[in-house]
Chains A and B, each alone.
Chain A
Amino acid sequence: MKSVAEILKEIRPEFDFTNSTDFLADGLLDSFDMMVLVSALDKNYGISIPGTDIVPENFQNLQTIETLLCKNGARL
């Protein structure tokens, strides 16, 4: 199973996600990347992130994404 950081690196290899606290405000992810990320997280962790959780605050940084995954039953 890949880590969140590895999945992000596959989507945007040119950016260092570990140094950002707000991926969207920093422009590291755009809206298309967000949906690619949701799909990749769903598949990787065998979960379904609810549409109502696809909001910017859940995708701000590695910590908020991991919190979201745990909330939806993923085992990190």
Chain B
Amino acid sequence: MISQVHTVEEVLEGIQHAKAKATDFRTNFFPVQARIQAWVSHGELWRAARESATFFLRKDRDFWHFYFCAASPMALEREAATVAELKTERVVTDLVGRESELSDPVASLQSVGFREYARLRRLVRAGRAGESPFATGDVLADWAEESDCASLLRLIESAFDPYAEQLPTLYEVEAAVRQQQVLVVKYNREVAGSLFFETQGFASTVRFWVVAEEYRALRVGSALMSAYFKSQNTVRRFTLWVNACNTNAIQKYGHYGYAPDGLVDHVLANQTIP
């Protein structure tokens, strides 16, 4: 049985419930408070409290993201097995860390019915003083506008896997557009490509860099990346996550100076996801 989370305090208490009994605390729950608040406000976050663990489930489209806070790996295996939704609903979960640290937690989650679904790698790039723009020809990128939000979301959903890549909701896209964290290139008022990012102080993360199929090979992608670096010229650390199988994207990011830093994200899916 799961219950809806109504306050951020319930989340913190849930973490503490497991941590107070911890002999070898384990968690894959790392959201910033603003994000927890958004999930709570939109009724997306649910929890299941157990003896030595608290589990959180976040509704996303037609499936759930699963997060755990457990007193030990044994508590995780024993008590996750009692969460009925892991057997009846579409559920994915993420394990982030160094590859060498993840084999045990992956095995724990496999024991409760998850299987390896995808693997993401984190790429990092140092900020450079006085970024010089990459050549982009005549293509110009500009900030997305409120009227672009629905088509932006459609473009992202058409290009990325919702189970593996943490796609935004419409309200997240709208908030990012308001904060000038989405760049677009348009042709005839149509969004041809977009770069969606999050900047916090001296750190910035590219969440989605996408060019619609019919506009590829027109330097749309490089115009977006050039505008991004130019607009974020006080950033000292650029990061992003990319599907490890997407060698084409990894090569393109490499061209812009991104390189793996050794952190990986194992995305696991339960048996109800094909």
The interface of chain A, by Cβ under 8 A from chain B, is 14-15, 22, 24-28, 30-32, 34-35, 39, 42, 48-52, 54-56
Residues of chain B with a CB closer than 8 A to A51's CB:
12-20, 69
Q: Does A28 contact B201, Cβ atoms closer than 8 Å? A: yes
CB contact under 8 A between A27 and B237, given known A52-B12, A54-B15: yes
Decide if the interface of chain A is mainly helix, strand, loop or mixed. Answer: loop
Chain B residues positioned under 8 Å from A26 (CB to CB): 200-202
**B236 on interface, CB distance cutoff 8 Å:** yes
Number of A-B contacts (CB under 8 A): 69
Pick from A15, A34, A50, A54: contact of B202, CB under 8 Å: A15
Q: Which 3 A/B pairs are nearest by Cβ-Cβ distance?
A: A51-B15, A27-B201, A51-B16
Question: Which residues of B sit under 8 angstroms from A14, Cβ to Cβ?
Answer: 126, 236-237
7 pairs, CB–CB < 8 Å, chain A vs chain B: A14-B237, A26-B200, A26-B202, A27-B237, A39-B25, A42-B25, A51-B13
Q: How far is the CB of A46 from chain B (nearest CB, A)?
A: 13
The answer to whether B201 and A48 have CB atoms under 8 Å apart is: no
Q: Assess whether A32 is in contact with B30, with CB atoms less than 8 Å apart.
A: yes
Q: Return chain A residues, CB-CB under 8 Å to B12.
A: 51-52, 54-55
A56 to B235 Cα, complex, angstroms: 21
Check A24/B200 contact, CB under 8 A, given A14-B126, A39-B25, A56-B33.
Answer: yes
Instruction: List residues 11-43 of chain B with CB under 8 A from any CB of chain A.
Output: 12-20, 22, 25, 27, 30-33, 35
A25–B199 Cα distance when bound, in Å, is 10
A27 touching B203, Cβ below 8 Å: yes
The smallest C-beta distance from B116 to any residue of chain A, in angstroms, reads 20
Complex Cα spacing A27 to B237, Å: 9
Whether the Cβ atoms of A31 and B200 lie closer than 8 Å is no
**Residues in B neighbouring A42, C-beta threshold 8 A:** 25
Cα A35 to Cα B126 in complex, Å, equals 23
A residues in contact with B202, CB < 8 Å? 15, 26-28
User: Are B25 and A27 within 8 A (Cβ)?
Assistant: no
Whether, in the assembled complex, B96 has its beta carbon less than 8 Å from a beta carbon of chain A, the answer is: yes
| Nearest-neighbor residue (CB-CB) of B12 within chain A | A52
**What is the distance, in angstroms, from B237's C-beta to the closest C-beta of chain A?**
6
CA distance A39 to B203 in the complex (A): 22
Interface residues of B in 199-216 (CB under 8 A from A): 199-204
List, in ascending order, chain A residues with CB within 8 A of B96's CB.
32
**Docked complex Cα distance between A69 and B269 (Å):** 38
- Can you add 13 more A-B contacts, CB < 8 Å, to A24-B200, A27-B203? A14-B126, A14-B236, A15-B236, A22-B201, A25-B200, A25-B201, A30-B32, A34-B30, A39-B25, A51-B15, A51-B17, A54-B12, A55-B12
Bound Cα distance A4, B34 (Å): 25
How far, in whole Å, are A22 and B22 apart by their CA atoms in the complex?
A: 29
> Taking CB as reference atom, which chain A residue is nearest B18?
A51
Residues of chain A lying within 8 A (CB to CB) of residue B201: 22, 24-28
- Specify which chain B residues have a CB less than 8 angstroms from the CB of A15 in the assembled complex: 202, 236-237
Contacts of B17 in A (CB 8 A): 51
Q: State the Cβ distance, A50 to closest chain B Cβ, in Å.
A: 5
Q: Does B27 contact A35, Cβ atoms closer than 8 Å?
A: yes
